[in-house]
Structure 1
Amino acid sequence: MSDAEGSSAGREIWIEKYRPQTLDEVHGQGDIVDRLQSYIERDDLPHLLFSGPAGVGKTTCATAIAREVYADDWRGNFLELNASDQRGIDVVRDRIKNFARSSFGGFDYRIIFLDEADSLTSDAQSALRRTMEQFADNTRFILSCNYSSRIIDPIQSRCAVFRFSPLSDDAIGAQVRQIADAEDIDTTEDGLDAIVYAAGGDMRRAINTLQAAATTGDVVDEEAVYTVTGTARPEEIESMVEAAIEGNFPRARSTLETLLVDSGMAGGDVIDQLHRSAWDFDLDDRRTVQLMERLGEADYRITEGANERVQLEAMLAALALEE
């Protein structure tokens, strides 16, 4: 990195500054990286379908493939489109076909990367299927999505499918430590653990949390992390559930009120944290199953438009009434 780049480090977005440039630099997806590298080494790249949650390396792997295949010429041979912004059939007919048809030199094929491909309409996906057949000789498609079930079967059958899992705590912790060292940020172990917990397997969220927390004081500690993320401490969530199960509904409701009002958490965030932490609570299996059942009901009703506070209080009340 040049001195000029270094002087503006504080104004840079770290998720882009520290985005891996090669497949070797991708954290936490070892098996997928090995398979992708074998395709590149054999010069036998098929159409690819990447599916998985946000922030786990799908887009990074796509651009890393282009860099390794085309080196310095990668930008001219790699078309990236966000299908959630451009969802219609015209995108497939116009932009994708024009790029696939255009002349190029020195390479056997060009790469078209469709991010959030599960947002494409059914008609657009059908047109894409035909385009994949028509330009199979000189174009490779990489499709990225959160849910592969929303991609029509004829497209899935034409692709090598890679299912990206949420990143492990170790992978996120290692990357966060590396960035903290590079940026000369003081962190505590509790702070790092809080970043990993708040990230929930999402590397982007972890890096953004580190950058935000680094602006709040001299040291990135647990307090700074939970403040910038609006995340509740696991012990607060556990205390609320335990109070409800013990039949102390007023105390459970008071804790919920603190999370929703004082901490400013959304009801969906409370449910997400409850779901992630349910099996870590000191509860017997029967109680945990009851909690999961009530969580599912509350989550569905909130998704359908019900009042968050009413549903969460009803969930705690139901737990308090269980024998």
Structure 2
Amino acid sequence: MSEAEAEGPSPGREIWIEKYRPQTLDDVFGHEDIVSRLESYIEQSDLPHLLFAGPAGVGKTTCATAIAREVYGDDWRGNFLELNASDERGIDVVRDRIKNFARSSFGGYDYRIIFLDEADSLTSDAQSALRRTMEQFSDNTRFVLSCNYSSKIIDPIQSRCAVFRFSPLSDEAVAAQTREIAESEGISLTEEGLDALVYAADGDMRRAINSLQAAATTGEVVDAEAVYTITSTARPEEIESMVAAAVDGDFAQARSKLDRLLTETGMAGGDIIDQLHRSVWDFDLDERAAASLLERIGEADYRITEGANEKVQLEALLASVALDG
């Protein structure tokens, strides 16, 4: 055994999201229905153009590469072109790189796969060019498009694709893979730490795995405190106590708790808004009060997105709740 092996696992040595990226569709967590449909396409050798839509970190890119591995085996890299549309958004990319790859000769396979990640970043002209390219090379090329918002993809492209909508992963799926990775890496992960990872991830497997790796570098045990510190996430009870103080009409106390989140925890205003939105129905509020709070959260979120001062907007939100309380 080498000296490095004798020392045990080194959490920072390799990026775990790549180390533990599923290699086959069977290894993908949390999307059984999607995986089943994709496997049926592969088994029947009848792969259409595909459009994967959904939030970040839920398995869209993983499924695309897993398809290529299953179709081409060890030859998958030579028959799979991956482009990131957010970096290469122009019409020239569609006309040049995609066409050159689609035209190039290859042996033994009926088609090659072009994976266009973040396709909703393509300009309208580029999407129109892509539509024509999809028609022109449909005999020997299959396109897999990935996007966060399918509404930003023009209808002519959507109509040429089988659309798969990836939802945020369930807490159970995130917990299962996170626990599996912790065991594989020899990391001592407490149940409270696992719950914190799942809460901070909010359905994003990539965030959960990255947070686990970051927390594992801070000590021998990954507990809730380490996770919340690493991810700059407030504990659910901290958000709840802040809102409870406002509902009780104690604006000074609510404002003090907000200041702590912004300064000591280092949270951004947008993150506090997100956690408030996620936790509204966990607060001890009647339906009307919860609806009113959601309305104010929406207003504050819009204003912050438009460039308003985060602290001012969040204090105004709490003040409004306190006045009604």
Same structural fold, with TM-score higher than 0.5 when normalized by the shorter chain? yes
Q: Does 1:27 align with 2:63?
A: no
Shift of 1:159: 0.1
* Residue range with higher mean Cα deviation, 136-145 or 271-280: 271-280
TM-score, normalisation: structure 1: 0.97
- Between the aligned partners of 1:265 and 1:201, the Cα distance in structure 2 is 19
Shift of 1:285: 1.0
Shift of 1:287: 1.2
Shift of 1:229: 0.3
* Residue range with higher mean Cα deviation, 50-59 or 281-290: 281-290
- Between the aligned partners of 2:80 and 2:280, the Cα distance in structure 1 is 43
Shift of 1:54: 0.2
Name the structure 2 match of 1:148. Answer: 150
Superimposed CA distance per residue, residues 123-161 of structure 1 (whole angstroms, 9 cap, x where no aligned partner): 000000000000000000000000000000000000000
Shift of 1:7: 7.5
Any conservation in 1 of the 2:9–2:185 contact (CA below 8 Å)? no
- Between the aligned partners of 2:194 and 2:56, the Cα distance in structure 1 is 20
* Residue range with higher mean Cα deviation, 295-304 or 3-12: 3-12
Name the structure 2 match of 1:316. Answer: 318
Superimposed CA distance per residue, residues 271-293 of structure 1 (whole angstroms, 9 cap, x where no aligned partner): 00001111111211111111100
Q: Aligned residue pairs: how many? A: 321
Superimposed CA distance per residue, residues 242-291 of structure 1 (whole angstroms, 9 cap, x where no aligned partner): 11011000000000000001111000000000011111112111111111
- Between the aligned partners of 1:317 and 1:213, the Cα distance in structure 2 is 35
Aligned pairs (5 A) from 1:26-105: 26-105=28-107
Q: 2:300 aligns with which of 272, 289, 298?
A: 298
Residues 71 and 260 from structure 1, CA distance in 2 versus in 1: closer, same or farther, beyond 3 angstroms?
same
RMSD, aligned α-carbons: 1.4
Name the structure 2 match of 1:202. Answer: 204
- Between the aligned partners of 1:8 and 1:21, the Cα distance in structure 2 is 23
Residue aligned with 2:218, SS: coil
Structure 2: gaps spanning 5 or more residues: none
For 1:214, the aligned partner's letter is A
Name the structure 1 match of 2:226. Answer: 224
Name the structure 1 match of 2:135. Answer: 133
- Between the aligned partners of 1:217 and 1:119, the Cα distance in structure 2 is 40
Shift of 1:9: 6.5
Residue aligned with 1:11, SS: coil
Superimposed CA distance per residue, residues 21-49 of structure 1 (whole angstroms, 9 cap, x where no aligned partner): 00000000010000000000000000000
* Residue range with higher mean Cα deviation, 281-290 or 56-65: 281-290
- Between the aligned partners of 2:321 and 2:4, the Cα distance in structure 1 is 58
Give the 4+ runs in structure 1 shifted more than 2 A: 3-10
Shift of 1:230: 0.2
- Between the aligned partners of 2:18 and 2:279, the Cα distance in structure 1 is 30
- Between the aligned partners of 1:310 and 1:4, the Cα distance in structure 2 is 51
Q: Percent of pairs identical after alignment?
A: 80
Aligned pairs (5 A) from 1:257-276: 257-276=259-278
Residue aligned with 1:312, SS: helix
Superimposed CA distance per residue, residues 179-214 of structure 1 (whole angstroms, 9 cap, x where no aligned partner): 000000001100000000000000000000100110
- Between the aligned partners of 2:271 and 2:193, the Cα distance in structure 1 is 20
Any conservation in 1 of the 2:270–2:301 contact (CA below 8 Å)? yes
- Between the aligned partners of 2:281 and 2:168, the Cα distance in structure 1 is 18
Aligned pairs (5 A) from 1:1-20: 10-20=12-22
Shift of 1:10: 4.2
For 1:315, the aligned partner's letter is L
Name the structure 2 match of 1:277. Answer: 279
Structure 1: gaps spanning 5 or more residues: none
Residue aligned with 2:96, SS: helix
Any conservation in 1 of the 2:9–2:186 contact (CA below 8 Å)? no
TM-score, normalisation: structure 2: 0.97
For 2:233, the aligned partner's letter is T
